[in-house]
Amino acid sequence: MKISCLSLCLLSTMCWLYSTPTTGNKIFQFGPCMISMNVNEIRASFTAIKATIQAKDAIRTISILSYPYSLHNFNSANRCCIIHHLLRFYVDKVFKHCETEDSHVNRKISSIANSFLSVKKKFRQCNEQNVCNCGEEAIEKYKQILSNYGQLNTTSAAMKSLGELDILLDWMEKAH
């Protein structure tokens, strides 16, 4: 009798686990902050518009995020600092200036922006409790990103930054 109750309980638990939809959220650790986000959803939205966005980028001589201004090789505390700045950068500068004639693309951009806004809010709450210290390297790399962004007009810079979103997502997943 005890065995059959235990078996029934295990079977019920397994059925519940398999029937419960997964959210796709991953936990990312940036210094003292652990942030839950659905990077797969963001990546899927970006993949759906990547070709369109990158086709609008006629300037190939400037990159906002890529080498030699790479996001790689940060220690844990600097990752916390740079992600704090980059979330604010994308929410405050990039997404506000990315609009196309295509309503489907605009909806995907809006979806990505809303995901970033949610992550930024979570990160800000964590950062209020566990302050991220910014090392000189993180500050210099962020200044370089802003400098690269400033070399272009606002719309071109925003579209280029959006077109490089996969660089940021890859970095976040590798830092994870």
Reported as a single tens digit per residue, the pLDDT across 102-155 is 999 999 999 999 999 999 998 888 878 877 888 888 898 899 899 999 999 999
Instruction: Using the predicted structure, report yes or no on whether residue 22 has a pLDDT greater than 50.
Output: no
Pairwise pLDDT comparison (19 vs 65), residue with the higher score = 65
CATH 1.20.1250.10 fits 24-175, yes or no: yes
Is it true that the peptide bond before 68 is cis, omega within 30 degrees of 0? Answer: yes
CA distance linking residue 116 with residue 108, whole number of Å: 12
Token look-up 């719309």 returns: 155
34, β-bridge pairs: 29
pTM for the whole structure: 0.80
Backbone angles phi, psi at 29, to 5 degrees: -110, 120
pLDDT for res 58: 84
